[in-house]
Structure 1
Amino acid sequence: MEYKDFFYQAAIYLLAAVLAVPLAKRLGFGSVLGYLIAGIIIGPFVLGTVGNTESIMHFAEFGVTLMLFLIGLELRPAALWRLRSQIFGLGLIQVLATTLAFTGVFILLDFSFVSSFAIGMIFSLSSTAIVLQIFTEKGWNRSPVGEATLSVLLFQDLAIIPILAILPLLGYQVLIEDPHTLTAKLSGWHQALFTIGVIAALIIAGRFLLRPLFRFIANSNLREIFTAASLLVVIASALVMQALGLSAALGTFLAGAVLAESEYRHELEADIEPFKGLLLGIFFISVGANINFSLIYHNPILILKIVTLLLVFKAMILFAVAKVFKINTQNSLLFSLTLAQGGEFCFVLLSFAAGIKIFSNETAALLIAAVAISMLLTPLMIIFYEKVLAPYFVRSQKDTDFDNIEQQKSTVVMAGFGRFGQIIGRLLIANKIKTTVLDLDAEAIAILRQFGFKVYYGDASRMDLLEIAGIKNASLFIIAIDDSEKALEIAKQVRKHYPDLKILARVHGRTQAYDFLKNDFNHVYRETFDSSLAMGLDALQSLGFDQEQAERMVKLFKEHDEASLAHLSKLYNRPGQPDQAYINEARKSRKNLEDAMMADREKHSS
């Protein structure tokens, strides 16, 4: 009977996702809102086709930890260090300001100081799962506002630890400390030292033990074992943090960050991504199914007031904090709208606070319903931003913000106008080809405009700017920015929205070209390749080759190199340490080139 119930519930969840999510995306609502609506429909207060949603939500929360692991893989230690001021500056001030502000507001609403302070701390948290899923779908992760938002979410995850420590001190019921944690019997400063030591050991193990382990597993050529090892790393790091009484999500994030510079980063991403996406989807469905519509029906005005207070007041605080950190107005609005909702940990903390008598169970139920509704409304607020606010700001921003780009009907849209892009742009403009250029170097743009170039200050990773730049009607999109990783993200985002648009991309060198070719971007241009061939041509002539022979050798080399690039890209999947199959093929390719050169010389010498 249990097996039947499990398969029945699994079928309902999957059927709801399969039907609701594509429909929601087709209507422009995004996948998160589709999952939430699916949960509402199958939940106990509409169709009532699923039960025990709370236990399913706990299982699906593993999707959040997988997401943090993938984020860690994207954030190399150098990038994490670069964001330290935002994590411990912007994040800290956001949590403190929101906590204090909500404490004051709930005191004015006749709550006790203890209850108000607890609610303030809990309401300072936002939904990591919803926000990061939306930012990933929109391609905003690598944008400045994406980095600021990620920094705040990371600090919020860290803040859960002291919040869990403070709440029992506010409660009227003494809790027995969990005896199963490794630090349960240690004094305060011993706990801190032990925790730091374990985290340091986790980092060292990640750097010096995991790489040899993955290399050993990879040599077995069993994909499913590599996948199992990837999941084992995530689960083990989560268990270590839980054993210390810390956040499991923090442990998986650290594990991902440690492995961010390893040669197995891309393989790990590919293995974890499907599990993360499915579990997050189930998590969002569970949130929708847990919205208590009966409680909302009997207390509509009160819950509406709490939801409005949470979203509007929190957004105002977030906007003010963003402006303190000199984030421009448009990005401050996006930052505040995406983080205004309550988070998934609010459910846990509100129930925990009610259990230790900080406030009543009835109050906790009302607050939980308000948090769930705020999460449901977040995708709608993002749609409002994209459809109403973003176009307005793109038209009105000046100087320090993105330029006012009038709706363009360009033949070509180009991202980047540095030393590489300028040559292409000059060639196109000289031939009267209408080209709109976006670049993020404000000083360079000011100089280029003095020479008559039409270059706009704008981030090409933002689809709203690209659409206003005319990409919808363009025949060609050229990516000439210096950051190869960001260039690939932009290319993927553009292809997602405009699959028939031809894309030409600049990359640094051979290994970056492999990444593009693997994603079926075949028009890739290595920035030094042709100039190196030009110098090689001069070198051959200086060494006694006549001009015709030198040009023939260069042409033969170019044809062979481009063919081998396409072939070797299929084998190159471990940056920093190519496997033996790749090395063997590369040697074979070099030998074939030498034989072809020798055959050509013999042919033309006879």
Structure 2
Amino acid sequence: MADAASHASYLPPILTFCAGAVIAVPIFRKLGQSAVLGYLAAGIVIGPSLLGVIKDPNAIRSTAEIGVVLLLFLVGLELQPSRLYSMRKDILGSGLAQMGLSAAGIGLAGWWFGLSAAGAVAVGVALALSATSIALQQLEERGHGSEPYGRRTFSILLFQDMAIAPVLALLPLLATTGGPDAGSPMRAIASLGIALFALVLIVLAGRYVMNPLFRILAHSGAKEVMTAAALLIVLGAALLMEHVGLSMAMGAFLAGVMLADSHFRHELEADIEPFRGVLLGLFFMAVGMSLDLELVAANWLLLALAAPLLLLFKIAVVTSILRLSCSSWLEAIRAGALLSPAGEFAFVLLPLGLAQGLLTPQQAGVATALAAISMLLGPIAARLIDAALLSRVAPETMEEDFDGAGNSPVMVIGFGRFGQIVTQALLLQHIDVTVIDSDVERIRSAAQFGFKVYYGDGTRLDVLRAAGAGKARVICVCVDDRQAALHIVEMIKAEFPGVRLHVRAYDRIHAIELMKANVDFQTRETFESALGFGRVTLETLGLTRDEADLVIDHVRDRDAQRMEIQFHEGLAAAINRVPRVAPEPLVPPRAKSKPLTPETRQVIEDGGAEVAIGGVGEPER
């Protein structure tokens, strides 16, 4: 059992990180800035350059980088292989052009300032990379991941992640202190073969192993095991990629892509999201802690000029490339602003360049500080540029964009007998539907309808958010648990107020509770079917179709009137009016009931003192 000293060794840093995040992030969000800036600022304050609460930032960076790994996994979950293939031109064309032109321009500037040719290449490549976590975080905060400029931004980021492996192999080849076999063709071919084998292994596992595994775990009913399995797959794929010379982020991304078509996708996304958020925040704090303020003060003039120029240059490169690829000026500049800060891998490549002798400690320190400052200034510049651009957009254009975004699908929570009938009508009209259910067999049934079907607990806010509840026009709550339905209604009303809510009511009392919750539409699950049943019975007894319809409409109107009274005055509004909800005839019967047995007579007489004024039917509810 651990003693008090061992507990004390790790608790203070954890408390420090939590306190820094809790204080800094709300302040920056209050100022209208990204949460990323809050994490970076907190890292600077608690790092060795100021308060010195954390002495060694590198000690936590390896753990913090898992946040970037989980981020790429979640990004992969959003990209089906077919969609990824459709982005190949943007990935290879725009991504390669951005990387090449940015690295060349920054490298030439570095060489002009006195770097060696090899050092200039190292700095150029390191600073040409963009901050995947910052760009994706900003897109997520704006909700623009599916916008054209958001997709092109991601395409360039994806190419940069794929380029990490060749870049890591390039730096030792440039080193003057490299071993004699550093550039061996056979070694390079062997490394490439191992990397390709690992990629094929992940693809095959994703296609033939992951879905059956999650199906077995879902049948077990242990949700924490699903979380453990998700972390196992993500971190396992990342570790495998790292061992074969590729980036951990690339392995996690591939694992996500392989699960993008899975019915369990949104449950996995909801399980991973909390870990991603915490560890990604820790990563940004580690970047802030790595900023050496003494070095910044000693080179303040150089950094004050270089940081804005770096941002402007990268914005200009991306804007030019995307403008040539038929993007509008607005989209091109917005994407360029998101890609302007240096990336997370700069803090991997620059120390490697120092270790290989390509850079002096002074040069590596200045380049690292420049990367950190660009990550600090980049989100601010992106927000200012975005605000300035949108202020010039014509209102008519903004309204058109809003209308286009409004064609969101219907979401159906619960795919039991009620939900299946509801979706039949939507299917006939070819309406896009997202179905959420926590029953594996129902998920399999829903897959036959051609809907987007996802395994998940509809009472969890993170699952609803991950499945796109905020983008749906209508959410149909079709679960057969009255308390679960009320809980879902409460969450949706609080988190997604613009969405229409159509809810299945269990019985009359439940319907009134839903009316008080201000749902847009509710219906009792047996009411309309019972009326239809009664109409057919009337026709069988000799009434015409029109006569039967008039009777049924009269019953429906009388029931609606009584429901309105009970809604406004309460289920126990007056002792002589609505003491309880119970079956009651809507019109006075023409004759008294006739008990056919003594037992029946006794039951009626015992209950005669009670006044039964309530709804039609539903005596057992």
* TM-score range for the pair, normalised by the shorter chain length: 0.5 to 0.7
Q: Deviation string for 1:267-320 (max 9, x for gaps)? A: 101110000000001111111121111111111111222212321211111111
Question: Which residue of 32, 50, 55 corresponds with 1:51?
Answer: 55
Aligned to 1:381: 381
Aligned to 1:77: 81
Equivalent residue letter for 1:339: L
C-alpha change, 1:251 and 1:295, in structure 2 (3 Å) is same
Question: Which residue of 147, 167, 171 corresponds with 1:163?
Answer: 167
Q: Deviation string for 1:197-223 (max 9, x for gaps)? A: 331221111121111111111222112
Equivalent residue letter for 1:117: V
Alignment check: 8 A CA contact 1:242 1:248 kept: yes
The question of 1:101 aligning with 2:95 is answered: no
Partners of 1:414 and 1:248 lie apart in 2 by 40
Aligned to 2:261: 261
Alignment check: 8 A CA contact 2:28 2:35 kept: yes
Partners of 2:246 and 2:135 lie apart in 1 by 22
Between 1:110-119 and 1:184-193, the stretch displaced more is 184-193
Query: Unmatched 5+ residue regions in structure 1?
Result: 179-183, 396-401, 407-412, 422-483, 508-516, 526-532, 560-601
Aligned to 1:341: 341
Alignment check: 8 A CA contact 1:126 1:341 kept: yes
C-alpha change, 1:258 and 1:500, in structure 2 (3 Å) is closer
Aligned to 2:91: 87
Aligned to 1:250: 250
Aligned to 1:138: 142
Q: Spell out the pairing of 1:169-208 with structure 2 (5 A cutoff).
A: 169-175=173-179, 187-208=187-208
Q: Deviation string for 1:323-368 (max 9, x for gaps)? A: 1112111111111111111111001101101111112111000000
Equivalent residue letter for 2:126: I
Question: Which residue of 121, 125, 128 corresponds with 2:129?
Answer: 125
Q: Deviation string for 1:498-523 (max 9, x for gaps)? A: 9698524599xxxxxxxxx9xx9965
Aligned to 1:350: 350
Question: Which residue of 141, 146, 157 corresponds with 1:153?
Answer: 157
Aligned to 2:449: none
C-alpha change, 1:383 and 1:158, in structure 2 (3 Å) is same
1:71, distance to aligned residue in structure 2 (A): 0.7
Query: Unmatched 5+ residue regions in structure 2?
Result: 411-465, 475-489, 503-513, 523-528, 560-616
C-alpha change, 1:501 and 1:155, in structure 2 (3 Å) is closer
Partners of 1:393 and 1:111 lie apart in 2 by 43
Q: Deviation string for 1:81-107 (max 9, x for gaps)? A: 121111111111111111222233333
Alignment check: 8 A CA contact 2:408 2:473 kept: no
C-alpha change, 1:173 and 1:485, in structure 2 (3 Å) is same
Question: Which residue of 399, 403, 417 corresponds with 2:397?
Answer: 403
C-alpha change, 1:503 and 1:364, in structure 2 (3 Å) is same
Aligned to 1:503: 498
C-alpha change, 1:231 and 1:500, in structure 2 (3 Å) is closer
Q: Deviation string for 1:384-411 (max 9, x for gaps)? A: 124323212346xxxxxx72769xxxxx
Partners of 1:213 and 1:339 lie apart in 2 by 38
C-alpha change, 1:548 and 1:403, in structure 2 (3 Å) is farther
Equivalent residue letter for 1:355: A
Q: Deviation string for 1:558-604 (max 9, x for gaps)? A: x9xxxxxxxxxxxxxxxxxxxxxxxxxxxxxxxxxxxxxxxxxx9xx
Partners of 1:140 and 1:416 lie apart in 2 by 11
The question of 1:219 aligning with 2:219 is answered: yes
1:239, distance to aligned residue in structure 2 (A): 1.4
Aligned to 1:453: none
Alignment check: 8 A CA contact 1:175 1:356 kept: no
Q: Deviation string for 1:534-571 (max 9, x for gaps)? A: xx9xxx9xx99824657959x99xx9xxxxxxxxxxxx
1:224, distance to aligned residue in structure 2 (A): 1.4
1:414, distance to aligned residue in structure 2 (A): 5.1
C-alpha change, 1:98 and 1:53, in structure 2 (3 Å) is same
The question of 1:67 aligning with 2:62 is answered: no
Partners of 1:258 and 1:379 lie apart in 2 by 31
The question of 1:274 aligning with 2:269 is answered: no
**Which 4+ stretches in 1 moved above 4 angstroms?**
175-178, 184-187, 413-421, 484-487, 498-502, 504-507, 520-525, 547-553
Aligned to 1:22: 26
C-alpha change, 1:144 and 1:244, in structure 2 (3 Å) is same
SS at the partner of 2:53?
coil
Per the normalisation by structure 1, the TM-score is 0.68
C-alpha change, 1:547 and 1:61, in structure 2 (3 Å) is farther
In terms of Rg, which structure is larger?
2
C-alpha change, 1:501 and 1:488, in structure 2 (3 Å) is closer
- Aligned residues with identical type, % of pairs: 34
Alignment check: 8 A CA contact 1:91 1:152 kept: yes
1:19, distance to aligned residue in structure 2 (A): 1.4
Partners of 2:473 and 2:64 lie apart in 1 by 31
SS at the partner of 2:14?
helix
Aligned to 2:545: 546
Partners of 1:216 and 1:176 lie apart in 2 by 51
SS at the partner of 2:220?
coil
Partners of 1:360 and 1:260 lie apart in 2 by 44
Aligned to 1:306: 306
C-alpha change, 1:378 and 1:394, in structure 2 (3 Å) is farther
SS at the partner of 1:61?
helix
C-alpha change, 1:96 and 1:18, in structure 2 (3 Å) is same
Aligned to 1:591: none
Q: Deviation string for 1:395-435 (max 9, x for gaps)? A: 6xxxxxx72769xxxxxx855688999xxxxxxxxxxxxxx
RMSD: 4.1
C-alpha change, 1:417 and 1:117, in structure 2 (3 Å) is closer
Aligned to 2:393: 393
Alignment check: 8 A CA contact 1:504 1:523 kept: no
Question: Which residue of 3, 8, 16 corresponds with 1:12?
Answer: 16
1:43, distance to aligned residue in structure 2 (A): 1.5
Partners of 2:77 and 2:264 lie apart in 1 by 10
SS at the partner of 1:327?
coil
Q: Spell out the pairing of 1:449-460 with structure 2 (5 A cutoff).
A: none
C-alpha change, 1:27 and 1:168, in structure 2 (3 Å) is same
Partners of 1:95 and 1:215 lie apart in 2 by 41
1:187, distance to aligned residue in structure 2 (A): 4.2
C-alpha change, 1:419 and 1:168, in structure 2 (3 Å) is closer
Q: How many residues align?
A: 459
Equivalent residue letter for 1:7: L
Alignment check: 8 A CA contact 1:241 1:247 kept: yes
C-alpha change, 1:319 and 1:51, in structure 2 (3 Å) is same
Q: Deviation string for 1:144-165 (max 9, x for gaps)? A: 1111111111110011111111
Partners of 1:504 and 1:122 lie apart in 2 by 45
Equivalent residue letter for 2:150: G
C-alpha change, 1:272 and 1:176, in structure 2 (3 Å) is farther
Alignment check: 8 A CA contact 2:469 2:496 kept: no
Equivalent residue letter for 2:306: I
Q: Spell out the pairing of 1:393-542 with structure 2 (5 A cutoff).
A: 393-394=393-394, 403=397, 488-489=470-471, 502-504=497-499, 523=520
Aligned to 2:321: 321
1:177, distance to aligned residue in structure 2 (A): 8.3
Q: Deviation string for 1:357-381 (max 9, x for gaps)? A: 1121110000000100100112211
